[in-house]
């Protein structure tokens, strides 16, 4: 039996918001206005790939030592 990797798992908008620590509305607006993490459209369903959310979270890391004074 095929078992996808954990990072390939697709999750709902609510689950994605919980993972990122943001609200569902922010993700919904991001889909309309072109910001936020990538998502999949499966007919009428919107799903986020867990690996994409991890990449998005990590790419928005801010290191305080790199900030100008």
CA angle 30, 20, 64 (to 5 degrees): 100
At 3, the pLDDT band (50, 70, 90 cuts) reads: confident
For the whole model, what pTM was predicted?
0.83
Q: What are the domain boundaries of the chain?
A: 6-58
Q: What is the mean pLDDT of residues 52-68?
A: 88
* pLDDT tens track for 5-40: 888 999 999 999 999 999 999 999 999 999 999 999
Q: Is 56 exposed, middle or buried, given 0-12, 13-18 or 19+ CB atoms closer than 10 A? A: middle
């Amino acid at each position: 039996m095929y078992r996808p990797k954990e990072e390939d798992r697709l999750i709902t908008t609510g689950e994605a918001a919980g993972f990122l620590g943001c609200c569902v509305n922010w993700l919904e607006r991001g889909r309309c206005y072109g910001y936020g993490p990538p998502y999949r459209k499966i007919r009428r369903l919107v799903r986020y790939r867990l690996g994409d959310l991890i990449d998005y979270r990590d790419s928005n890391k801010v290191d305080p030592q790199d900030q100008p004074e």
